[in-house]
């Protein structure tokens, strides 16, 4: 019974995702995209960003009642902080990555994220990571066809030399922020494990962000952001990472279930 009590408490307190049945190979394939080389130990994985994923956990009636889980769920996975991760990243950053991971798994596999605890706000965004340092004019040339609110202009960031923002006079569908390679050395700015080291230890990045949450972003905005990010990735031989931390190869990948296949 003590085991059940501990499991129910963790499912209630930690970022978790529930499924009506075991997602099996579909989950395994998705986690390999999230991190091609996690550390595995028994019933848990530890990813390169410090997130620990524990499961599958069989949901018994006792666990369902004590954790106040929605009915009809059979299997759960919950996250934590992996051993040694605190030495590399702050706990808050790891917990936020765990929140993003469970929401991404739920969106792609038809799972449910229980709502007992506050969740990190997820805005619709896409980040392009690249080892190629494009000139600002090249970036504008790639993105301008996807912007219909006027000419993109550059706003240099005096606080972070080498970084800049791109926007238009009228509010655009998405804004762009560029971060130079050295930001990858920051404990908060580490590249996601999905890159698998393919772009080297210090890629540069362009964030294409919006004012919309992933829950209420209009499909047209989703597609516009996705197509712009993918165009920039092609031009820079880069990789698009979505708001959850997963690679996006097609517009439909950016917000699963929100855009028609």
Write out pLDDT tens, residues 30-87: 999 999 999 988 789 999 999 999 999 999 999 999 999 999 999 999 999 987 666 6
**67's torsion region: left (phi>0), alpha (psi -120 to 50) or beta?**
alpha
Residue 255's pLDDT is: 74
Given a cut of 70, whether residue 92 has pLDDT beyond it is: yes
- Give the pLDDT band (50/70/90) at residue 1: very low
Provide the pairing of β-strand 39-41 with 164-167. Answer: unpaired
Mean pLDDT calculated for residue range 224-242? 97
Given a cut of 50, whether residue 91 has pLDDT beyond it is: yes
Given a cut of 60, whether residue 133 has pLDDT beyond it is: yes
- Give the pLDDT band (50/70/90) at residue 205: very high
Indicate the DSSP class of residue 255: S
User: Which of 227, 240, 179 is CA-nearest to residue 205?
Assistant: 179
Average pLDDT, the chain: 90
Residue 2's pLDDT is: 44
Residue 234: count other Cβ atoms within 10 Å of its Cβ.
12
Q: Which helix (H) or strand (E) is 17 found in, with range?
A: strand 16-19
Q: Using CB atoms within 10 A of its CB, is residue 101 exposed (0-12), middle (13-18) or buried (19+)? A: buried
Indicate the DSSP class of residue 132: S
Residue 3's pLDDT is: 47
pLDDT in tens, 142-155: 999 999 999 999 99
Residue 87's pLDDT is: 61
Find out whether 246 and 236 touch, Cβ atoms under 8 Å.
Answer: no
Mean pLDDT calculated for residue range 166-186? 92
Least confident of 120-124, 181-185, 235-239: 120-124
- Give the pLDDT band (50/70/90) at residue 230: very high
Q: Which residue shows structure tokens 């829950």?
A: 215
Q: Which residue shows structure tokens 């031989």?
A: 237
């Amino acid at each position: 019974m003590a085991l059940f009590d501990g499991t129910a408490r963790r499912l209630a307190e930690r970022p978790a995702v529930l499924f009506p049945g075991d997602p099996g190979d579909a989950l395994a394939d998705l986690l390999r995209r999230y991190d091609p080389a996690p550390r595995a130990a028994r019933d848990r994985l530890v990813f390169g960003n410090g997130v620990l994923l524990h499961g599958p956990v069989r949901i018994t009636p006792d666990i369902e009642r004590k954790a106040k889980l929605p009915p009809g769920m059979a299997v759960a996975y919950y996250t934590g902080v992996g051993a040694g991760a605190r030495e590399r990243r702050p706990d808050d950053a790891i917990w936020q990555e765990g929140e993003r991971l469970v929401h991404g798994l739920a969106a792609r596999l038809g799972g449910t994220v229980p709502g007992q605890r506050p969740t990190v706000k997820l805005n619709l965004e896409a980040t392009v990571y690249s080892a190629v340092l494009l000139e600002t004019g090249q970036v504008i040339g790639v993105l301008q066809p996807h912007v219909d609110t006027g000419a993109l202009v550059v706003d240099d960031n005096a606080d972070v030399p080498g970084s800049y923002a791109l926007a238009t006079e009228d509010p655009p569908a998405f804004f762009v922020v560029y971060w130079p390679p050295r930001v990858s050395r920051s404990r908060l700015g580490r590249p996601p494990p999905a890159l698998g080291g393919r772009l080297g230890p210090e890629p540069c990045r362009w964030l294409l962000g919006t004012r919309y949450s992933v829950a209420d972003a209009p499909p047209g905005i989703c597609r516009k952001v996705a197509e712009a990010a993918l165009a920039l990735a092609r031009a820079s031989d880069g990789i698009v990472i979505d708001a959850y931390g997963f690679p996006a190869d097609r517009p439909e990948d950016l917000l699963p279930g929100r855009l028609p296949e």
